[in-house]
Amino acid sequence: GDEEDWASRPPVVTVMGHVDHGKTKLLDALRHANVVSKEAGGITQHIGAYQIVTELEHNERPITFIDTPGHESFTAMRARGAKVTDIVVLVVAADDGVMPQTVEALNHAQAAEVPIVVAVNKVDKEGANPAKIRQQLTEYGLVAEEYGGDTMFVDVSAITRQGLGDLTTAILLTADASLDLRANTEQDPQGVVIEGKLDKGRGPVATVLVQRGTLRQGDSIVAGDAYGRVRSLLDEHGNKLKEALPARPVQVVGLTSVPRAGDTFLVVEEDRTARQIADRRQARIRNAQNASMRKRISLEDLD
Ligand code: GTP
Ligand code: NA
Ligand code: MG
């Protein structure tokens, strides 16, 4: 493509860590929102995906954040070959320390070869021991810069807002040091489904991350084995967008069925083509299911 079709895109950051260590609260603090208070039991059920505009050296620098419930979705996406995230922010509560899910998250990030920034959260709490977190994580190969390693650790509090600017700076410095953040805005639009759900009023809704090209209202789209015409594109506030550029998470309304996390989506010229591709994929899935059922039955016969 032409040189001018390439534009720098925001880094995509997945926030991971042990349950209740403050992933959602931290994102709330960064975006001046309050998602945690609306969650049932304070537990994240749905993936939240937000674009936040930050600043580095007087330049506006948006960052795309993905907040995951547990690691299932990250693992599911990775298992299906979808590479969604550029950086993992590993959240560790300073009063609680490294916990089993901290280690799991860390293993996932390392397996995916994604750079990690550690957010040592809840430093406002009594009993917070940020130095201990650094020491604990050394055992897992994450050595803080101040200890001669190459991992950025940032002490933060989602309550007092301490360290939030340092955290976004660490993310952007990590992105600039290790990633190629250029994307082509004129290629055929493509990306990944990060969540699909059935909405009572709006029908199937997919949260997708555009990875290249520009997704527009009215586009004919295939996502996994779902298809349809993009009736509306909504940002995280529910505002309608005319188009979504690379690294923009957006809700797509207009699909005929619900796609799965990790499904890729693409845009085609005609509705008919979208339906044909989707039909072919559905047939392939049915065949695979039938084959595995046949296999199961013949194995049972052997018993
Ligand atoms: P899951 O999504 O359920 O895994 O939890 P989470 O990691 O998203 O944690 P969440 O943001 O729901 O925060 C858990 C609890 O810790 C909430 O009661 C928050 O108010 C509290 N919390 C989060 N960050 C801080 C912090 O920096 N300081 C203090 N004192 N409390 C915090
Ligand atoms: Na929680
Ligand atoms: Mg949460």
Q: Which helix (H) or strand (E) holds 196?
A: strand 190-199
Q: Which residues lie closer than 8 Å to 52 by C-beta, 6 or more apart?
A: 30, 31, 62, 63, 65, 168
Rounded Cα–Cα distance for residues 171 and 82 (Å): 22
Rounded Cα–Cα distance for residues 219 and 266 (Å): 10
pTM of this prediction? Answer: 0.91
Q: Which of 120, 115, 24, 104 is nearest to 66 (CA)?
A: 24
| Residue 100 CA to ligand 1 centre (angstroms) | 17
- Residue 77 amino acid letter: M
Indicate if the pLDDT at residue 48 is higher than 90. Answer: no
pLDDT by residue (tens digit) across 56-87? 889 999 999 999 876 667 777 777 767 889 99
| Token code pair at residue 30 | 């960064």
pLDDT by residue (tens digit) across 189-248? 999 999 999 999 999 999 999 999 999 999 999 999 999 999 999 998 889 999 999 999
Question: Does ligand 1 lie within 6 Å of residue 19's CB atom?
Answer: yes
Question: Does ligand 1 lie within 6 Å of residue 18's CB atom?
Answer: no
Q: Which of 39, 40, 43, 84 is nearest to 66 (CA)?
A: 84
Residue with tokens 């015409």: 229
Minimum-distance ligand 1 atom for the alpha carbon of 123: 27
- Residue 135 amino acid letter: Q
Residue with tokens 């997708």: 208
**Interface ipTM > 0.90:** yes
Looking at residue 188, the DSSP 8-state letter turns out to be P
| Residue 144 CA to ligand 1 centre (angstroms) | 23
Q: Between these two residues, 299 and 138, which has the higher pLDDT value?
A: 138
